[in-house]
């Protein structure tokens, strides 16, 4: 994670190279770690660097070289470099091709952009919750209201 709030979960594009060096240093100094998550909820406004929307393409431009860099380090060839989980139920990130802010579309576009730019995905991260504290909500099939009525409202959002 690059930072929080205005720093952004990933930096602005012009700082990807210096962030890549930080990632490399972190991985080299982290004995025993084999799973790395690049960023967090990149579709959530609170994770934007200086308020800049992080599009799936921008995320892929950050993710691909970092994954390659991690895998190039001795002892990390088989590590799992994981996509950032998206913020479920968050429709605040819109961009050309996703005018509704559909977070599932955002997530699939992240994966597609990574592949289109020649990258590979080792694993994915998911954030999913219930909207309450009752344990049975984990099994709920309740759906959202329009325009996202095709998506589950609780844990099954994954």
Quick: pLDDT tens for 47-84. 999 999 999 999 999 999 999 999 999 999 999 999 99
- Position 11 scores a pLDDT of 95
pLDDT score of 125: 94
What is the per-residue pLDDT for 7?
93
Q: What is the pLDDT of residue 54?
A: 97
At 157, is the pLDDT very low, low, confident or very high (cuts 50, 70, 90)?
confident
Q: Is the pLDDT of residue 158 over 90?
A: no
Residue 16 CA, chain-centre distance (Å), reads: 16
* Mean pLDDT, the chain, integer: 95
Contact 122, 79 (CB under 8 A): yes
Helices (H), the chain: 16-28, 56-72, 103-116
């Amino acid at each position: 994670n690059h930072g929080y709030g205005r720093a952004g979960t990933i930096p602005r594009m012009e700082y990807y190279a210096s962030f890549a060096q930080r990632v490399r240093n972190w991985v080299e100094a982290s004995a025993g770690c084999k799973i790395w998550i690049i960023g967090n909820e990149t579709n959530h406004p609170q994770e934007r660097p200086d308020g800049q929307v992080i599009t799936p393409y921008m995320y892929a431009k950050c993710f691909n070289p970092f994954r390659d860099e991690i895998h190039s380090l001795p002892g990390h060839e088989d590590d799992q470099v994981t996509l950032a989980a998206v913020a479920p139920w968050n429709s605040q990130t819109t961009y050309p091709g996703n005018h509704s802010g559909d977070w599932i579309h955002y997530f699939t576009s992240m994966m597609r952009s990574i592949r289109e730019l020649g990258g590979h995905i080792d694993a994915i991260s998911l954030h999913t919750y219930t909207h309450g504290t009752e344990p049975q909500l984990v099994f709920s099939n309740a759906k959202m209201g329009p325009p996202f009525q095709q998506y589950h409202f609780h844990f099954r959002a994954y």
